[in-house]
Structure formats: C-alpha cells, structure tokens
A and B are shown apart, each in its own frame.
Chain A
Amino acid sequence: MPYIVLRAAAFVITAGFICLACKYRRLRRKYGLLKKEAETQAALHSIDELKLAEYLALQNQINPHFLYNTLEAVRSDAICAGAKDIANTVKALATFFRYTITDVGTQVLLEDEINNVENYFMIQKYRFSALNLEIMVPPELLQARTPKLILQPVVENAIIHGLEKKVGLGTVKLCVDTTRKNLLITVKDDGVGIEEDELARINEKLNRVEDAPSKQGGIAMVNVNSRIKLIFGEDYGMHIYSLAGAGTTVEIILPLIIEKRGL
C-alpha cells in the first residue's frame, strides 16, 4: 500500500478520535455531568477530600470506552490490508488510551508507567522517526508505586520541546534509581534545551506548591508536579535542568513504595 495512503489512514483515525472526544464532551456537558461533578466537589469539606478532588480533576478524565474498541476494529482492517505499521500504531494507540482512560486509582506500578511510555513512544516514532528511547530500570524497582501518568507527559515534553526541533537523531533516556527512602526518576533528552530565563521561570512555577495548574492554564509538567506534591507533600516533586543547545533533564523524586509480589 502506498505510503501516502497509510498517512491518510492515520490522519483519518486521529481526526476521528478528536471528533469523538469532542462529541463526548458535548454530551457530558449536555446532560449536566460536569455540573454534577462540581456539586460533588463542593460537597467535600475536609482538606484531604478537597485535595483528592483536585487531584482527580487534574487527571483530566475522559471515558469513551467505545473509542478503543473502534481503534481495535481499525487495526483489524489495517492487518487485513497488510498495513503493519498502521496496525501496530493503532494497537499502541488503543493500549495507550486504555491505560490513560481506565480509572485504576491514584497509584500504579512503575512497570505500567514504563509500558505506557513505550507505547506512547511507539506512536510518536510513527510520525517522527528520528527518535530513540533508552530505559534503564533495575528489575526490582519495576514494582515501585508511582502516581498514574507522571512519566508520559514528561517524555512528551522532551519530544515536542526538545527533540522535534533538533536536527538529526534525538534520544530520550529514562533512568530509575533509589535512595534509602526515595525513588529517583530521570528523563534526559539530548534536544535543543531550554533558554536560561525560561528554565528559571518553569522551575519557579514548579516550586510554587500553592499554585494548582488549573489556575495557571495547565502546563503538563506543572500538572504532574502538582499531583505529586498533592499526594506526597512538598518534599517530593520534580526539577528541570537544562542548557540551551545541550539537552534537558527532568528529575522526579517520589517516596519509595515497593509493591510486594504475592501478597
């Protein structure tokens, strides 16, 4: 199948998804679901409940279950048409949405987060081939607990703001280490980096615990950082290091919580 047809199919799928998502949001609004959510939030009085509500809002939940079923159908058609790339990308997209959409509570295993990053990376690689992902995680840390969806936004940021503007191959490195009490996750890219003033501004924003991203217009990194701080407190969170022209490193510190297998 000619390459242009594959691209067109991918475009149709993406456009379809966007339309469905918009339609779903309109339906929610129509039936007053959003209003109900706001009323539910107002009913939460204790600080902890408010924090939980804020956290759930940050997670930006959408729940179109039919969407990934449709994607599975598209994937089947792509396989039948011999379009392996499209089939694999659609599969990754479906898996990515399933993970993103499914509400499995506030924390997941690091292994799940890494699988999600790999899926996301595969989708990005489809549209931007000059990408390379290296993951270095000691196997025993795969069972560590992390808040859901903290890694993918960071990797997305690295690709969009760091690597897409770079000429030639770009690499994202995801490394995990621990101290006695903390889990240390670093996401490094060798992209274009961030100018000094901009870096200072972003880190200053990250450092202001009291600013919820909803009030600021919702930058993905600020969102992730705020969620971490809401869950674990101000001793945890992220910091960004960068030099223009030399790449960026995002460092995330979380409390070390290991899931014990078989219990």
Chain B
Amino acid sequence: MKEEIIRIENGVKYQAQTQLLKDVTLRIYRRELCGLIFDALSEGSALLDILKGNQRLDKGRLYFNEARRGLEEGASLFKQNVFAPQYGWQLPDELTVEDAFLMTGDRFIKSGNILAREIGYVFEAFQISIPFRQKLSGLSYLRQLQLQLVMAYRQDFKIIILENLASFLNEQDLERIMELVVLMKQKGAAFVMVDNDESVLLRYADNISLMRNGRTVHILSREEFRTGSISSRLLGSKGLSGTGGFQINKQPSRQPWVLELAQVKAEGLKPVSFGIGKSEKVVFLDKEGYFGERLVRLLQGKEKLQGGEIYLNSSPYRPKDSSDATKKGVCVIGENPILPGGCLFHNLSGMDNLLLPLYIKNSGALIRKQHEASIIKEARDYFTEEQLRATVHSLDPLVRQKLAYYKWYLYYPHLVVCVKPFSGTVYNMRRFTEEIIQKYIERSISVLIITSNISEACAFGGRIISLDSEG
C-alpha cells in the first residue's frame, strides 16, 4: 500500500498571462523519491515554486493526506510540509551545529547535555558524524546538506526537495547524501528530485514524472528506467533517425556548413559525420560525456584527429591550440565558466575580460578608450558601468555568467561551443544563458551546445544530435 502525501490533479499555473503549467498531475508518496524531468526550465521553476509554497496553483485539484484541499490553502500547506535545502547556509555563520538544532528544533530551552544527547541520537540514527560544537561556517557543503536534511526530518517536514545536487556535489559526496536519503525514506520521508543530470534520477528515483509543454505526459516506474528508453520517451516525437554511431534528427541538406565533421574518429566510437549551418543552433547530446569531451578538445586543438576531417567554412580546420582556434573563429565556453580557471580572468575587470579577445582579434590594434565607451553603450542592457569596472572575483555569479557569454558575442566568431551551459547555474543564470544563445543566432553566430543532460538538450530547442547507446 502506498501512503499518499500530496496529489495534484490537472494543475494549471499562469504567469503574466502565459499558461506555464497546463495539466500537471503529481503524486508524492511516503518512502518514495519522485524524480521530475522537464523540457522547459520555466515549467520546472513554476512547479518547484508551487511545491515550496512560493506560488499557488490557479486551477486544478489538490489533495493532502488524501483529503481534498482548497487551492488557496496550497501555499501554506506546502510551506508547512515541504523543505528545500539551500546551497549556502541560511543561519548566521557564527552559530554552531548545536545552536542550529536548538533554533530550528522545539521551542523549549534545554540544557546542553540533553540537547547534545538528542543530537547524538539523531546523528546515530542517520549514521552521520558532525562535531556538535563546529561552527556552521566551517562545514563543507556535504555536511551542511546532511545537517539540513536531518533537521528537516526532525522538524517533521513530510517532503524534501533535492534540487540539482549533481551540480554541487562530487560523485562520492552525492553517494553519501543518497545513503542518508535512503535512511530517511525508510523512516517515512518523501523526496522530490530535480537534476540537470538525468543519470542521477535514473539511479535513485522510485518513479519519474516527465513534463512536456506544461503537461505531465508520463509517469515512469522504476522498472521502466533504462537510459535508452527514457531518452526516447523524453525526446519523443522529435523524430530521431540513426546514421552511424549517432542519431540525428532532421539533418538538413543545407550547405556549405560553418563546421563540418566528416567521418571523425574517436577511440571506441564509430566515425561521426554531421554539419552545423550558419546561424544554426545544434545540441549535441552525449549521455556518456566521452565523445563530447573529445570533440571539444579536437575543436580547441588540444587533441589530434585520429581519422576523418573537420572543416570550418569548407576549409580543413586543424588549430594548433585554443588561442589559434579562437583566432580561426571557434570559441569555447566550458562547463561552469564563472569558476576560477574557467573562461574569465578573475583578477581583471569585467571590461578587461571583454576587451582581451578583441585585442587578440585585431592583433592589438585597439583604441582602448573608444572601445570602452562603445562597449559600455552596447552592453548597457546587461551590465552597469560599475560592474564592468569591478574585478571579476567581486561580481556576483549572474554577472560573471553574463561576462563569460557576452565576451564571445562581442568577439563575433563563426561558432561558439557551449559545454553543459546549465551546469551549476540557478534559474536567472539559465534564463540569461538561453537568451544570449538566442542573441548569438540572431547575430549569425552558429552555436554548438554539448551536454549529457536531456532536459538541457530540450531546453534550447533547435536540432538535437544524440549519441546512441551503442556508441
């Protein structure tokens, strides 16, 4: 017997007169982890906002513990029963683990010993070890998350939302969190999981709801989880048809290509051929991540071709290194470009970061003042002058994300390669990323998006090239 906590039937949500959610059905049961896969981030954000109690459904039916409840009660019900751990601690850093328990637990002041004993029991039950007196500021993200989950359980939250864990945790830490999740499930907790990396959902979810165009189109049980079938279910009617080691949908016959791969070989894979047209956006979905990585290295000149040929505007393309690739007009924005070591110089100002590629392009022949003035004017929709003058490390992540993408918009190459563009991003960063990629296209810059994530692949639209399971 399943123990239903929340049921949403025919849920509808409008946002600024747009119907974001059209017919959402969602069931959350005790002791289960429900995965959600969306084909549009706006829908995902809208549903998560409803589950977190930040928004309410406009239409539909809502059941809580199998009793029908009014939609107007939804927000308060969700707030009382749903917990979403934050990336970054919400309590003052100076507090200790013990203080955090005292503040978020019951309202009675307890002696240190009793509290310590209680925390001890809880930690023992969930097999975690965090020193009681440790300051919150000193906790790793793994420990912060463990602590938040345990405290959520102690506060009797019925449902916990796990959002994009794979973006913040390494494989080992993720494994440890999921061990805790299994223990909490056994004690009756329910989880909702959303992740850019579907393989995480496939590994841990008990069921997965697939959402397309604001509707729940399928609910897959665990036995139906097979990477191949789930990708075909999500990509559905986009109509992939196979050629060689790849599945290519609607490969157009337009030529000449801006970038063309002709029988390109990589270790362990069949030869690959495909082309990207001018002003075209192509998503390369590589679930294993292997060929995508090799492809980026080939395009940056970091790896030699093992066979076949790559053409850029019909001429053989063999860059010596990434700088040469940039000069030839192929620019790469790596995964998490805003982190140190990404594609920004953190000790330089935003303006310097934008100007540097232009110096290279024009072989140093730039009149700085004039260019600065024109950039400030040109980029005023994205940056204030203060932001452009500030050093990158002092800027917030969204501005850094904007810089990472905007510098290639100014540079105006033939092709921009974006690797896992949503990795480690939050909603407003994703929205900007989608927007700027559209701007590239409008500026006749071709875009190749490389991802291992099906939702991410679907979010951008355009042509999807998917590496099939046989490689």
Give per-residue flags for A157-201: 1 if the beta carbon is below 8 A from chain B beta carbons, else 0.
000000000000000000001111110100000000101100110
User: Quick check: is B22 within 8 A (CB to CB) of the other chain?
Assistant: yes
A179, A184, A193, A242 interface centre (most CB from chain B within 10 Å): A179
User: Quick check: is A245 within 8 A (CB to CB) of the other chain?
Assistant: yes
User: Quick check: is B179 within 8 A (CB to CB) of the other chain?
Assistant: no
Name the A residues within 8 Å of B22 (CB-CB).
Answer: 200
Near A by CB (< 8 A), chain B positions 9-31 give: 9-10, 22-23, 25, 29
In the assembly, what is the distance between CA of A199 and CA of B213, in Å?
Answer: 12
In the assembly, what is the distance between CA of A239 and CA of B23, in Å?
Answer: 11
A241 touches B232 (CB 8 A): no
User: Quick check: is A235 within 8 A (CB to CB) of the other chain?
Assistant: yes
A243 touches B217 (CB 8 A): yes
B1 touches A244 (CB 8 A): no
In the assembly, what is the distance between CA of A251 and CA of B221, in Å?
Answer: 13
Residue of A nearest to B9 (CB): A239
Name the B residues within 8 Å of A235 (CB-CB).
Answer: 61, 63, 68
Give per-residue flags for A225-263: 1 if the beta carbon is below 8 A from chain B beta carbons, else 0.
000000000110001011111100101000000000000
Residue of B nearest to A182 (CB): B66
B233 touches A200 (CB 8 A): no
User: Quick check: is A70 within 8 A (CB to CB) of the other chain?
Assistant: no
Count B-side interface residues using an 8 Å CB cutoff: 28
User: Quick check: is A41 within 8 A (CB to CB) of the other chain?
Assistant: no
Partner of A244, one of B63, B219, B236: B236
B23 touches A179 (CB 8 A): no
B23 touches A245 (CB 8 A): no
In the assembly, what is the distance between CA of A196 and CA of B233, in Å?
Answer: 12
Count A-side interface residues using an 8 Å CB cutoff: 26
Partner of A179, one of B4, B216, B237: B4
Name A's interface SS: mixed
User: Quick check: is A207 within 8 A (CB to CB) of the other chain?
Assistant: yes
Near A by CB (< 8 A), chain B positions 294-350 give: none
User: Quick check: is A204 within 8 A (CB to CB) of the other chain?
Assistant: yes
A179 touches B218 (CB 8 A): no
B2, B61, B213 interface centre (most CB from chain A within 10 Å): B2
Partner of B218, one of A177, A180, A243: A243
User: Quick check: is A203 within 8 A (CB to CB) of the other chain?
Assistant: yes
User: Quick check: is B265 within 8 A (CB to CB) of the other chain?
Assistant: no
In the assembly, what is the distance between CA of A203 and CA of B216, in Å?
Answer: 11
Known: A180-B4, A245-B237. A200 touches B215 (CB 8 A): yes
A203 touches B233 (CB 8 A): no
Least distance between B223 CB and chain A CB atoms (Å) = 10
Residue of B nearest to A180 (CB): B66
Known: A239-B9, A241-B216. A180 touches B3 (CB 8 A): yes
Least distance between A51 CB and chain B CB atoms (Å) = 20
Known: A178-B1, A181-B66, A239-B9. A195 touches B237 (CB 8 A): yes
B1 touches A243 (CB 8 A): no
A196 touches B217 (CB 8 A): yes
Name the A residues within 8 Å of B212 (CB-CB).
Answer: 196, 243
A179 touches B9 (CB 8 A): no
Give per-residue flags for B225-257: 1 if the beta carbon is below 8 A from chain A beta carbons, else 0.
000010011101100000000000000000000
Name the A residues within 8 Å of B229 (CB-CB).
Answer: 246
B237 touches A196 (CB 8 A): yes
Name the B residues within 8 Å of A245 (CB-CB).
Answer: 232, 236-237
B25 touches A239 (CB 8 A): yes
Known: A196-B212, A241-B216. A204 touches B23 (CB 8 A): yes
Name the A residues within 8 Å of B213 (CB-CB).
Answer: 196
User: Quick check: is B210 within 8 A (CB to CB) of the other chain?
Assistant: yes
Give per-residue flags for B191-211: 1 if the beta carbon is below 8 A from chain A beta carbons, else 0.
000000000000000000010
Known: A200-B22, A235-B68. A246 touches B218 (CB 8 A): yes
Least distance between B217 CB and chain A CB atoms (Å) = 6
Residue of B nearest to A246 (CB): B233
A242 touches B3 (CB 8 A): no
In the A-B complex, list the 4 residue pairs whose CB atoms are closest, starting with the nearest: A246-B233, A244-B237, A179-B4, A243-B236
Q: Enumerate chain A interface residues (CB-CB to B < 8 A).
A: 177-182, 184, 193, 195-196, 199-200, 203-204, 207, 234-235, 239, 241-246, 249, 251
A selection of 8 A-B contacts at a CB cut-off of 8 Å is: A180-B3, A199-B217, A203-B10, A204-B23, A241-B218, A243-B217, A243-B233, A243-B236
